[in-house]
Structure 1
Amino acid sequence: MSSTTPSNPETCPVARALDAVGDRWSLLIVRDAFDGAQRFGDFQRSLGVARNILSDRLRKLVNAGILQTQPASDGSAYQEYVLTDKGKRLFAVVVALRQWGESQLFAPAEARSVLVEKSTGAPIQHMAPQTESGQELLPDDAVVRKPG
């Protein structure tokens, strides 16, 4: 049973999200899908992951409704994996992880890939949670309300 079904007893949205995409390979597959990878071979070349692991993660992402399969766009016998609307909603998650990695895991002048806006070439602005009035929301300014 998918972790996204209403019968999942987990009440924490973070835990449910991690059930769906919380391992290294799944998130890197989603990242590569945003970068245009669609075929099994594309993912395997980019990630260098074992075929059985890649096959398992692709199946799980399809079952979770994050990716869907479709016939290859070139008319060949291959199938392609494309992000669903649900999968596209992970863009903010991938960007947030990227920005955290840039600020916390790289030296200031260290070479790294950069996410830019396609139409302008300008770097993407830093993402941060905001209050309703548009102020940056810091960890001490928020609390989780648990059900019950």
Structure 2
Amino acid sequence: MLIVRDAFDGIRRFGDFQQSLGMARNILTDRLQKLVGAGILARQDASDGTAYQEYVLTPQGESLFSIVVALRQWGEQHLFEPGERHSVLIDKSTGEPVPTMALKAQDGSVLLPGATQVRKVT
């Protein structure tokens, strides 16, 4: 998920992923290959015309956006001390922080875990 998060943050090259994540080359190579194999990332020629390859999110990968945002927002709320510096997801059109995500019922009210149940599809 950290690789996918970094891809959403604009990282595209192997070296930039490695620098951001501090991951060993062999482990990063394996995980990138698995994400490509799963159809979440695709490799393409570098956008600047160099001989490098870049990793880009596929439409399937982009569909993970709400999951990444939910995890990011949870981290912003629970993993930082008051006043500690951290990143915030911003809406480019308004310059404002993205509102906290919440599951909503048909009537627009917030759904809490106790108000839901899993029904197995037969």
TM over 0.5, shorter chain: yes
Paired residue type of 2:91:
E
Q: 1:66 aligns with which of 40, 56, 59?
A: 40
Partner SS for 2:55: strand
TM-score, length of structure 2 as denominator length = 0.94
Paired residue type of 2:53:
Q
Displacement, 1:95? 0.8
Equivalent in the alignment of 1:4 = none
Q: 1:35 aligns with which of 9, 19, 24?
A: 9
CA RMSD in angstroms, aligned pairs only = 1.1
* 1-structure distance, mates of 2:41, 2:94: 28
- Which runs of no fewer than 5 residues in structure 2 stay unpaired? none
* Moved segments of 4+, more than 4 Å: none
Q: What do the CA deviations read for 1:57-111 (whole angstroms, capped 9, x no partner)? A: 1000001110001111122211110000111111111110111112222223222
Equivalent in the alignment of 1:136 = 110
* 2-structure distance, mates of 1:99, 1:39: 25
TM-score, length of structure 1 as denominator length = 0.78
Identity of counterpart residues, as a percentage? 65
Paired residue type of 2:40:
I
Equivalent in the alignment of 2:99 = 125
* 1-structure distance, mates of 2:90, 2:52: 31
Matched, 1:46 2:20: yes
Equivalent in the alignment of 2:51 = 77
- Which runs of no fewer than 5 residues in structure 1 stay unpaired? 1-26
Task: Tell me the number of residue pairs that the alignment of Structure 1 and Structure 2 aligns.
Answer: 122
Partner SS for 1:30: helix
Q: What do the CA deviations read for 1:9-48 (whole angstroms, capped 9, x no partner)? A: xxxxxxxxxxxxxxxxxx1111111111111111111111
Equivalent in the alignment of 1:18 = none
Matched, 1:107 2:81: yes
